[in-house]
Structure 1
Amino acid sequence: MEDICRLPSRMILVLRGNNLKLLIMENSRDKSLRDLIVVNNLGGLLFWRTEEHVLSTGYLPLWGVSVCRYPASGKPILYIPELEPRDRLPEGVEIKTFPWGIIDCADPWEVLFNTIKEDIFKRGIDHLPLGYVPHFGQTAPPLMSGEGAPLPLDFLKRIQAIPVKGLRDVTGPMLELYMVKQPHEIEAIALSNKIAGIGIKAFYHHLEPGISEAEVASVVEAAVQNQMGKNGVEYAKAWPLIMSGPNTAYGGTFNRTTGKKLVSGELVMIEMAICVNGYWADITRTGTTGNVQPELLAIYEIVKEAQQMAIAAVKPEITGGELDQIARNYIDKKGYGDYYNHALGHHVGFRYHDPGPGLSPQSDLRLKEGMVLTIEPGIYGEELGGGCRIEDNVLVTASGHEILSDFSRALNPLSRDSF
């Protein structure tokens, strides 16, 4: 086993708009994790999902097989495969390696799990259970996003056998931590949105008849990835989905890019997930390739107004259901209620779609300061000739809200330089 210790860093420079500021990274996230451990009488927490690493230590794994043991006191221990790059490991944690991917090791997982057991025994916490989240639905991909994390089929069973006193499900309290972001996480999500704006600008600049949906998507993806190495961006990847003309009619059901070529006078919609340094944004814009039929223009204006009304109402204590109804009632009043077939939004930041109750008609979620939510009403229909959605990422503040994705929502290509 290789041991590496790193000293903590507590300050980062953040560029918001034209303002460069120094942000002190207080230990609020660390405190919330350790409080969870103490309140639930645990020996610590076990994390292995990408978003769990990002939340707990700010670490974005490459292979997706690392495990973190977060203790009640002392440094978190990060168990990484020997093949993991060393240049972007988090500071303030203890690093240990295990021989995953090494050709002469028959069972690297046995080495890993035995090492964790030994560490628990040495720390004198073997009489306490460890907290974990058994299931959280979909998870964020590691840097090797071309495939899922290559964990063994019996990974969960074997990790459950590590502590003598077993594991305890802490899904509920962890969900609370996912939903309310800390200041340094908000700054990181804001950076993701800033880079998303560069991708959206590329989208607008390529809405020309004759270009294919796939070509537009490739330009957007390149514009985002080209930001790596600039302004604090170590990693940036976008998943742009482009739908044009009649394809936009299905935007409320699914989103996908095809080889269809754009033609003059149609709507073009981009649904884009973007990850920057491990933090996510989720953006939708709708543009055109020229003058569209009057009803589609009217639909766009209705969606835009519905979104603005909902965003204006975002503040602490309002419920998700109340926000949803603001947008839904307006769209229904305009005669298009039957064409709005999804919820108003969801949590975002640690994943493309963070866990937690969203902004649906039945949601009794009360918004809290620090939540980051999407606001994304839409209208879609084959008989309408297409569809439209506008989506922004909105931070709940003490006094109301802040739009993190506050860049152009232009429809007409003539306005596409208005960023």
Structure 2
Amino acid sequence: MCKERREMIDKIFTSHNLSAIIFWRPDELVLMLGYLPLWGLSVLVYTADHEPVLFVPELEPEDLLPKGIVVKTFPWGVQNCIDPWNILYKEIKMVLQQKHLLNKPVSFIKSIGRTSPCRMSGEQPPLPADFKSQLCELCEGGVKDADFDLISLYQYKTSLDVEGLKLAHSVAAIGVVVFYQQAKTGITESKLAASIEFAIHEKIGQNNISFARAWPMIQSGSNTVNAGKYNRTTGKIIADGEFVLLEMGVCVNGYWADITRTTITGEITELQKSMFETVTTAQQMAIEMLQPGIAVCEVDRTARKVIEEAGFGKYFNHALGHQVGFRYHDPGCCVAPDCTDVLQEGMVLTVEPGIYGIELDGGVRIEDNLLITANGYQLLSNYPRSLRGN
């Protein structure tokens, strides 16, 4: 764990007088250790003495385990082990007992239900239904609610996190290139999505990439009308003169990029040109506002004003953006008209204005990811965003 993250954890321990903080969601383990588990069953017990212990199932691949930390195994998935979870709870309690910490409360994030996927992303981690309640029984000091401070950890990306995010965005760029190259008349939405997913998945094993997955969703023509409500790939054949929209989440080694691009097949109409140029201007005006101290509602209002003045206000039906990095959508502030949260150095957020309408016969969105720096911002998704991808 880097110094920046350790200092943030120190403040939480001090302000809440905790014995330990327990992390288990895959995105929490990426946040704390840069470690994306395979099974999603690993549990980090971070104690007040700064000697954390990571518990992993015996079936967890050793090459994935983080360095410089004590790792203990528990027999999940092992033949003839009837109750591996009871063994884990006892092991965690023993760690706290050995460190004389049982009389002080522990804490963990309780208010968040969903999580980002582990490497075994075909299912959510198979934690027992009573996992949280069992953790509550570990300490004589009980469990203390520190959710606000713990969730705030997601807002700040350390220098190590930024390295991971840059790698994720470099891989996402490959998907964007494939999108512009192959979004042509006659191809199906599903085939285009499959080509993008393949191009990203095959990067595993290169440049320290141990995990790379993409969730590309393609909508074309009339399907883009609904892109402001949901994104869904169908078997529709892309026709001439249509908008084609890519919404794509990319996860590389546990770090996320969230990108949208829109292109067009064939000739462009004046209405389509106006829609695209309006979205482009709205995004650029909003991006230019990004710096520490600016309220996110002001960023949203800036983009929304551009779209309203162009006559498309009622067709922009969602918030301007959200935080991203440890998840496809990080918990925290939403870049929306009614959110008064202020931008801080280290935040990573999306800026994604859009216009969608049945009477417009289509929809347009452009989405980029930006890191808030001391003096402004850094564009992480620095690749083509023009209508033709040039």
Q: Is the CA contact (8 Å cut-off) linking 1:50 and 1:142 kept in structure 2?
A: yes
CA–CA distance in structure 1, aligned partners of residues 78 and 134 of structure 2: 20
Q: Is the CA contact (8 Å cut-off) linking 1:320 and 1:360 kept in structure 2?
A: yes
The aligned amino acid for 1:197 is A
1:258 pairs, out of 231, 234, 241, with 234
SS at match of 1:300: helix
Q: Is 2:357 aligned against 1:384?
A: no
2:174 pairs, out of 195, 198, 215, with 198
The aligned amino acid for 2:4 is S
Per the alignment, residue 48 of structure 2 pairs with 72
Give a deviation string over 1:23-57, Cα, whole Å, max 9, x none. xx841112211331132110010011011111111
CA–CA distance in structure 1, aligned partners of residues 363 and 185 of structure 2: 18
CA–CA distance in structure 1, aligned partners of residues 287 and 310 of structure 2: 19
CA–CA distance in structure 2, aligned partners of residues 198 and 40 of structure 1: 44
CA–CA distance in structure 2, aligned partners of residues 168 and 258 of structure 1: 47
Q: Is 2:197 aligned against 1:227?
A: no
1:39 pairs, out of 2, 7, 15, with 15
The aligned amino acid for 1:63 is W
Q: Is 2:42 aligned against 1:84?
A: no
Q: TM-score, normalised by structure 2?
A: 0.98
2:345 pairs, out of 369, 381, 389, with 369
1:332 pairs, out of 305, 308, 313, with 308
Q: TM-score, normalised by structure 1?
A: 0.91
Give a deviation string over 1:224-244, Cα, whole Å, max 9, x none. 112112122221111000000
CA–CA distance in structure 2, aligned partners of residues 251 and 316 of structure 1: 31
Per the alignment, residue 162 of structure 2 pairs with 186
Q: Give the drift of 1:138.
A: 2.5
2:264 pairs, out of 267, 285, 288, with 288
1:356 pairs, out of 329, 332, 337, with 332
Q: Give the drift of 1:410.
A: 2.1
Ranges in structure 1 where 5+ consecutive residues have no aligned partner? 1-24
Q: Is the CA contact (8 Å cut-off) linking 1:34 and 1:73 kept in structure 2?
A: no
Equivalent residues in 2 for 1:123-162 (5 A)? 123-162=99-138
1:342 pairs, out of 318, 324, 337, with 318
Q: Is the CA contact (8 Å cut-off) linking 2:109 and 2:151 kept in structure 1?
A: no
Q: Give the drift of 1:161.
A: 1.2
1:398 pairs, out of 369, 374, 384, with 374
CA–CA distance in structure 2, aligned partners of residues 167 and 85 of structure 1: 31
The aligned amino acid for 2:241 is G
Alignment length (residue pairs):
390
Q: Is the CA contact (8 Å cut-off) linking 2:185 and 2:239 kept in structure 1?
A: yes
The aligned amino acid for 2:206 is K
SS at match of 1:274: strand
Q: Is the CA contact (8 Å cut-off) linking 1:250 and 1:387 kept in structure 2?
A: yes
Q: Is the CA contact (8 Å cut-off) linking 2:353 and 2:365 kept in structure 1?
A: yes
Give a deviation string over 1:279-334, Cα, whole Å, max 9, x none. 11100000112213221121011001100000011011110100000000110011
Per the alignment, residue 4 of structure 1 pairs with none
Q: Give the drift of 1:245.
A: 0.5
1:277 pairs, out of 249, 253, 258, with 253
SS at match of 1:168: coil
Identity of aligned residues (%): 45
CA–CA distance in structure 2, aligned partners of residues 301 and 66 of structure 1: 47
CA–CA distance in structure 2, aligned partners of residues 100 and 224 of structure 1: 32
Q: Is the CA contact (8 Å cut-off) linking 1:37 and 1:131 kept in structure 2?
A: no
Q: Is the CA contact (8 Å cut-off) linking 2:258 and 2:350 kept in structure 1?
A: yes
Q: Which runs of 4+ in 1 moved over 2 A?
A: none
Aligned Cα RMSD in Å?
Answer: 1.1
2:141 pairs, out of 142, 159, 165, with 165
Per the alignment, residue 6 of structure 1 pairs with none
